[in-house]
C-alpha cells in the first residue's frame, strides 16, 4: 500500500501519519518497506538462480540500480557478493 492509502485509512494527513508511524516504530514507513523488500530479495538470491532483473521485479523496486544501491546500503555488500558469500 502506498503512504496516501495508509494515511487515509488512519484518518490522518500523510505527514501526520508518517510522524506517528515513525514515533511508534522508530522508522519511517518507506524505510520499513525497503527493508522488507531487501529481506525478500535475500531469500530470492539464496533460493533461486534468478537473474538480478527478475529479483528486482519480484521485490517491486524501481530498477537494478536502485536495488543495488539500497541492497548495498542495508547489507554493506553488493547483491552478487552477498549471494556468493552465503553460498560458499
Give pLDDT tens digits for 37-86: 999 999 999 998 878 888 999 998 889 999 999 999 999 999 999 999 99
Is the pLDDT at 36 greater than 80, yes or no? yes
Superfamily classification of domain 27-87: Homeodomain-like (1.10.10.60)
Location of C-alpha cell 553460498: 87
pTM, two decimals, is 0.80
Size of the chain in residues: 88
Using CA atoms, how far apart are residues 80 and 56, in angstroms rounded to an integer? 13
Q: What is the pLDDT of residue 67?
A: 93
Is the pLDDT at 17 greater than 80, yes or no? yes
Residue 60 φ/ψ, nearest 5 degrees: 80, 15
The secondary structure of residue 79, as a DSSP letter, is H
Amino acid at each position: 500500500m502506498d503512504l496516501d492509502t495508509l494515511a487515509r485509512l488512519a484518518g490522518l494527513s500523510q505527514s501526520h501519519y508518517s510522524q506517528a508511524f515513525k514515533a511508534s516504530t522508530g522508522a519511517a514507513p518507506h524505510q520499513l518497506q525497503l527493508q522488507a523488500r531487501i529481506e525478500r530479495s535475500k531469500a530470492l538470491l539464496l533460493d533461486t538462480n534468478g537473474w538480478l532483473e527478475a529479483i528486482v521485479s519480484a521485490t517491486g523496486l524501481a530498477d537494478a540500480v536502485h536495488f543495488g544501491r539500497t541492497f548495498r546500503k542495508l547489507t554493506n555488500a553488493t547483491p552478487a557478493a552477498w549471494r556468493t558469500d552465503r553460498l560458499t
